[in-house]
Structure 1
C-alpha cells in the first residue's frame, strides 16, 4: 500500500554524538519528521540541550529519547518496541551508533583481543542489522523506507583507528549492497555515508586539539569535516528516492572512489 499522509518517524541511533545531533537538527529543519533519538549513556543535560536545539529549529517536531546498550540484542529489540509504541512504525532508520571499543591508532593485530573484534562488530554492525530487520517489514508494506548506515572511510582503506573498527565498517558495506538490491523495487532505499576525520565527535575528540588538527593535514582539503556536512548527506539520502545501493564518502578528498 502507498504511504499514509502522516509525519514520518525517523529513528537515529547514537543521536547525542556529533553526527547524530547534527542529523537530528537537520531533519527537524526539514519539518516533515518526528524524531526518536537513541542514546547509550548521555547525561540528562546533554539530552535536554539537544531537545532544546531541535525545538528551536522546529517547534512542531516531536522528540523523545530512548536508552539502549547496542551491544545487547535484547536491549536493541526493546528499543524498537519502545519507539514503535510511542511513535508508531519507523520510516527512516539512521544506524549511526558506533564505537572503537577504546582502541585507537592500533599498529599490531596482536594488540586487539578477539573479544574486542566481537564487541565492536556487535555495536557497529550486527545491532544495526537487527534494527534494520525489525523496521523493514513496515517499510516494505507501505512501499517507502530509508535505511542509512554511518560507515567510515576505514571501511575502504583500513583507516587509522584499528582493524576491529575497519572490519566492522567494511561489513556494513557488504550488507548495504545486498539489501539495497533486494528491496529496491519495494520503495526502500539503502545507503551508507562514509566520513573521515570529523571534528567534535567522540571518535576524533575536540576539533581544536593540537593532535586532532595534525590529522587534518592528511586531508586534501586541509581541514577536519564538520558533523553538519555528514548530516547534509544523510538528509539528501532521505529525500532522494533514486539514490540507493551507495556508500558515499564524505572525507575531504582522502580516498578517490
Structure 2
C-alpha cells in the first residue's frame, strides 16, 4: 500500500532541487501533486508524469494571496480536498550584513516567511473542514547555526520554526499537524557550481560522510506527511547527516 494513495498534495517551489525531489517521492507514494512555482514547472511535471506520477503544474506566486487563492480554488473544484501542504519555496540573497540592501532582506522574508501566512490562510480552512491535514515547511540547518552572509536567510528559516511551534497549537484540535524540516548540506545547482575542494571540505564535516540529496529530503517530508505521523506536531526534523547535534 502506497503511503499517500488518494491524497492531494501541494508542493511549493517544486520545479527543481529539493522541491523536485519531494514531488518525485510523493508521486511514487501515490499522491496527486500540485506543483507550484513561479518558474516553469511543466518540464518537471512532464518528467514525473512519464514515470507514472500523478502531478500537475500551477504557476503560483506564493507571496500573493490572490494567486494562491485562485490555485487553491482550482484544486478544490477538481478534487474537493487538500491533504498536505509543503511550504518548500525559498530564495537566497546572500551578502555580508553591512552590504546587504533592504530589498535583499525584504525579498527573502517575503518568499521564505510571508508565503507561509499566505498559503496557510488559503489551505487551513479546507483542512479544518475535513478534520485532517499535514503542513510541513522548509527550515534550514542555518536557522540553528547561522552562516556568513546569510543574516536574512538564517533569520527567515528561524522564523519558520517559530511559525511551526505556534500554528500547531491552534490547529491540532482539527487533526492538522504542523512540522518543519531543516536540511543540511544538500546537492543542488548551487553545490554543483562550487569548487570540488569546497564540497569535499563540507562533506568531511558531515558524520555520515556524504552530501544529502533531494530524494533524501523527499523521504524526510514523506514521514511527516504520512498518516502514521499524526502524534508528531510542532517538530523540526533535522535532516543533516548528523552535522548539527539536536
1:225 to 212, 218, 221: 212
For the 8 Å contact 1:190–1:245, the answer to whether it is kept is yes
Q: Match of 1:3?
A: none
Residue 1 of structure 2 is aligned to residue 9 of structure 1: no
Q: Which residue of 1 aligns with 2:76?
A: 84
What TM-score do the two structures reach when normalised by structure 2? 0.88
Change (3 A) 1:26 1:47: closer
- Name structure 2 gaps, 5 residues minimum: none
Compute the TM-score of the two structures, normalised by the length of structure 1: 0.85
Aligned residues: 239
User: 2:222 matched to which residue of 1?
Assistant: 235
Superposition pairs of residues 13-92 of structure 1, within 5 angstroms = 13-31=12-30, 33-42=31-40, 44-53=42-51, 55=52, 61-92=53-84
Q: Pick from 104, 121, 127: which aligns with 1:139? A: 127
Offset of 1:246 from its aligned partner?
Answer: 0.1
Secondary structure (helix, strand or coil) at the match of 1:216 reads helix
User: Are the counterparts in 1 of residues 97 and 149 from structure 2 also a CA contact under 8 Å?
Assistant: no
In structure 1, what is the Cα distance between the partners aligned to 2:220 and 2:43? 28
Q: Is the contact made by 2:27 and 2:54 (CA closer than 8 Å) also made in structure 1?
A: no
1:205 is paired with a residue whose SS is helix
Cα shift at 1:64? 0.9
Q: Is the contact between residue 180 and residue 244 of structure 1 (CA under 8 Å) also seen in structure 2?
A: yes
Counterpart contact for 2:27–2:55, Cα < 8 Å: no
Q: 1:44 to 1:92 in 2, by over 3 A?
A: closer
Q: Match of 2:145?
A: 157
C-alpha spacing 1:136/1:70, structure 2 compared with 1 (3 Å): closer
From 196, 205, 219, give the equivalent of 2:191. Answer: 205
Question: How far 1:73 sits from its partner (Å)?
Answer: 3.7
Query: Cα distance, 1:50 vs. partner?
Result: 3.1
Using a 3 Å threshold, how does the CA distance of structure 1 residues 36 and 46 change in structure 2: closer, same or farther? closer
**Residues 122-201 of structure 1: pairs in structure 2 closer than 5 A:** 122-160=110-148, 162-199=150-187, 201=188
CA RMSD of aligned residues (A): 2.1
